[in-house]
């Protein structure tokens, strides 16, 4: 991979902001013919971690790129204002100042901060003036089984509290029962409730049974206007995986080919190692191209990835990498 160019602000906004995905009528023929060749997908996914695709000279730049794409997350029952303020301080300055200075990356920030509704106001106030958006998980996260009208109302409350991005959870039952109309209607109403806020549709892929269901649910959510599709809440027993990512990324590519609209991708849950983040970036570059390696089209949902990236950047300056990282970097 070539060295990414990162602006002083750390946010690599595209020169021309494109229109958001407006969605389209539900196309059941397209949904029902969407397939996922499980064995081919799994074969390809197995080859990804071993690929040596980032040149050593470019390592630090790619790690900084990964930082700029993190939705720095805390989603715990014991979250407090103090914890969220510390998280926001980390989002504003993700890595030690001397490291950023040595790398010429002053001003680098994470892509966003992601919290529960109750912590939105704290996060908005801690991030004031930085341009870092607050994302809120919503709609009865993580199971999404609270009364429907309350799930819709929760979105409005979070937008009112200052969230610029809303991570909704879909009703898994609609996918498992093949009730694509119900999934479409739900997603569309949630999208509308977000108003100007961007909406990320969490599919909870670990609970959808098959890769084919993942492909179909991805398409339906995009048809209903999702700005991003996201793998997981981080609370399922299986969260982001490479096979699931391949299926979702290819659904995004098909949707772009058919409609001309770019939908973003957010793998989330269990991504905690710098070397894994680099595998994801390389996958996105291969399958979707450089345009998707921007914070408006790609995010990592992660609570502990930043710590490992910071360690690897420290080692970059001293020349001591961990074995796994060295292997991923080639
Ligand atoms: O959306 C983000 C995930 O909940 C974060 O999961 P994680 O704690 O495994 O990084």
- Name residues whose C-beta falls within 8 Å of residue 303's C-beta, 6 or more positions apart in sequence: 72, 73, 74, 75, 234, 272
Nearest CA to ligand 1 atom 2: 301
Domain boundaries, the chain: 28-329
27 CA from centroid of ligand 1 (Å): 32
This model's pTM is above 0.90: yes
- Ligand 1 in contact with 190 (CB < 6 A)? no
309 CA from centroid of ligand 1 (Å): 16
Tokens standing for 133? Answer: 């958006």
**According to the model, what pLDDT value does residue 315 have?**
86
C-alpha span between 35 and 172 (Å, rounded) = 18
For residue 59, list its beta bridge partners: none
**According to the model, what pLDDT value does residue 2 have?**
59
- Ligand 1 in contact with 206 (CB < 6 A)? no
240 CA from centroid of ligand 1 (Å): 9
154 CA from centroid of ligand 1 (Å): 21
DSSP 233-300: -S-SSS---HHHHHHHHHHHHHHHHHHS---EEE-BSS---HHHHHHHHHHHHHHT-GGGSSTTTB-E
> What are the residue numbers of the active site?
167, 230, 266
Nearest alpha carbon to residue 233 among 171, 148, 301: 301
**According to the model, what pLDDT value does residue 56 have?**
67
- State which ligand 1 atom lies nearest to the alpha carbon of 266: 1
180 CA from centroid of ligand 1 (Å): 27
**According to the model, what pLDDT value does residue 323 have?**
54
- Ligand 1 in contact with 304 (CB < 6 A)? yes
Cis omega (within 30 of 0) for bond into 76: no
3-state secondary structure of 171: coil
Nearest CA to ligand 1 atom 8: 303
- State which ligand 1 atom lies nearest to the alpha carbon of 235: 4
72 CA from centroid of ligand 1 (Å): 9
**According to the model, what pLDDT value does residue 49 have?**
87
In the chain the first and final C-alpha atoms are separated, in Å, by: 11
- Ligand 1 in contact with 277 (CB < 6 A)? no
- Ligand 1 in contact with 70 (CB < 6 A)? no
Residues 48 and 279: beta-carbon distance below 8 Å: yes
pLDDT digits (tens), the chain, 330 positions: 655 655 444 445 444 556 789 999 999 999 999 989 999 999 999 998 876 556 666 889 999 999 999 999 999 999 999 999 999 999 999 999 999 999 999 999 999 999 999 999 999 999 999 999 999 999 999 999 999 999 999 999 999 999 999 999 999 999 999 999 999 999 999 999 999 999 999 999 999 999 999 999 999 999 999 999 999 999 999 999 999 999 999 999 999 999 999 999 999 999 999 999 999 999 999 999 999 999 999 999 999 999 999 999 998 877 655 555 555 544
CATH number 3.40.640.10 given to 28-329? no
Nearest CA to ligand 1 atom 7: 269
- Name residues whose C-beta falls within 8 Å of residue 109's C-beta, 6 or more positions apart in sequence: 9, 10, 11, 67, 68, 91, 92, 93, 94, 130, 131, 132
84 CA from centroid of ligand 1 (Å): 15
- Ligand 1 in contact with 204 (CB < 6 A)? no
> What is the ipTM for the molecules in this complex?
0.97
Which of 271, 300, 303 for a ligand 1 pocket mutation test, highest count of atoms within 8 Å of Cβ? Answer: 303
Which of 139, 234, 272, 299 for a ligand 1 pocket mutation test, highest count of atoms within 8 Å of Cβ? Answer: 234
Nearest CA to ligand 1 atom 1: 301
């Amino acid at each position: 991979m070539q060295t990414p160019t990162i602006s002083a602000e750390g946010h690599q906004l595209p020169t021309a902001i494109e229109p958001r995905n407006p969605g389209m009528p539900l196309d059941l023929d397209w949904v029902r013919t969407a397939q996922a060749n499980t064995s081919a997908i799994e074969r390809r996914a197995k080859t990804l971690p071993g690929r040596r695709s980032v040149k050593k000279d470019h390592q630090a730049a790619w790690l900084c790129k990964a930082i700029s794409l993190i939705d720095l997350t805390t989603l715990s029952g014991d979250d407090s204002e103090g914890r969220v303020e510390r998280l926001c301080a980390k989002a504003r300055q993700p890595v030690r100042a001397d490291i950023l200075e040595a790398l010429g990356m002053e001003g680098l920030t994470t892509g966003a901060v992601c919290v529960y509704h109750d912590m939105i106001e704290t996060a908005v106030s801690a991030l004031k003036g930085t341009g870092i958006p607050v994302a809120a998980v919503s709609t009865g996260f993580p199971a999404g089984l609270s009364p429907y009208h309350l799930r819709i109302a929760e979105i409005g409350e979070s937008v009112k509290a200052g969230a610029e991005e809303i991570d909704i959870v879909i009703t898994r039952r609609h996918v498992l029962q093949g009730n694509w109309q119900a999934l479409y209607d739900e997603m569309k109403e949630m999208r509308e409730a977000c108003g100007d806020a961007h909406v990320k549709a969490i599919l909870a892929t670990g609970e959808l049974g098959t890769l084919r269901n993942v492909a179909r649910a991805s398409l339906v959510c995009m048809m209903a206007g999702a700005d991003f599709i996201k793998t997981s809440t981080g609370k399922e027993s299986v969260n982001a995986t490479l096979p699931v990512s391949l299926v979702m990324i290819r659904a995004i590519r098909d949707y772009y080919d058919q409609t001309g609209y770019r939908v973003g991708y957010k793998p989330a849950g269990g991504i905690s190692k710098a070397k894994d983040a680099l595998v994801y970036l390389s996958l996105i570059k291969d399958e979707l191209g450089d345009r998707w390696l921007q914070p408006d089209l790609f995010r990592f949902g992660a609570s502990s990835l930043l710590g490992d990236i910071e360690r690897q950047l420290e080692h970059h300056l001293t020349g001591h990498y961990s074995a796994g990282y060295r292997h991923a970097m080639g």
